[in-house]
Structure 1
């Protein structure tokens, strides 16, 4: 079987391809576009959450918070700021390396920043839930409820995708 230079070869026999027939640059362009779509969803959520967190300190009830709740608030805001930075980072990254013929590398690094941003978003959500539920109720089940919700996020965001990846990909199959 012959292929164009720079193109990935398709699997022989049965006509089923192991991947797309695209150059390294085309693959980087496609993966960049997909990554930007994913980031738009996460960015919107983290920015709205972070914006609300910033306003909490200006409410009349904030001075009434216990020292523990204030510490949780500071940790939550810090995590939200870090998540925002990591999820906006790929945009700046792209701007600074655009036209330098390093898009395949930029995609890898932007993907890593996005993954870190999602981990930070998970921590921000857990911390925010802990703070809100502690203020809303004094019940001892709050840590258990937050733990259950964090487990749910981990299942939805990491465990299920990793399970699907291991179940439906074989060997070196990649996008």
Structure 2
């Protein structure tokens, strides 16, 4: 029997609710490891920009974009780390049924702030090498690209799939 015949790897009729929650928690942790690392690197890089002499000479627009990007990055880091803290606080309290859906929402919110931080970082860099108008157009396209691949495509697949999905 192929994975397709079983309905993909999301539906496992042989697992109980506890096993399903454990599997979902482990899948979410794997995703968070990737997101946390990249976001923390971006955040650390952004922290160094403010101390560059050339940045001090930048205009108010650049400073505003930087501030928004830094805050979005910090919020993304916080949201990606929140499930870890949440788990520590409810560890051994038999609350996995509450932990998993809340952690999923925290991670999803973190992705929104990560998109904002990435777009802000791209705008900061492109504004140095291109005209501001061109930089803004490119960042708008980058935003559409992220929204398309991170939200529209999965929503489309979810809507058009006949799978059992969890």
Superposed pair shares fold, TM > 0.5: yes
Name the CA shift for 1:58/1:165 in 2 (closer, same or farther; >3 Å): same
Partner of 2:52: 59
State the shift of 1:16 in Å: 5.6
Partner of 1:94: 87
Structure with greater helix share of residues: 2
Alignment of 1:1-175 (within 5 A): 19-20=11-12, 21-170=14-163, 173-175=164-166
State the shift of 1:77 in Å: 0.5
Matches of 1:139 and 1:94, distance apart in 2: 44
TM-score by length of 2: 0.90
Matches of 1:91 and 1:60, distance apart in 2: 37
State the structure with more CA Rg.
Answer: 1
Which stretch has the larger CA shift, 133-142 or 118-127? 133-142
SS of equivalent to 1:61: helix
Matches of 1:64 and 1:136, distance apart in 2: 16
Unaligned runs of 5+ in 1: 1-14
Matches of 1:30 and 1:115, distance apart in 2: 18
Give me the CA root mean square deviation. 1.7
Name the CA shift for 1:16/1:59 in 2 (closer, same or farther; >3 Å): closer
How many residues are treated as equivalent by the alignment? Answer: 159
TM-score by length of 1: 0.85
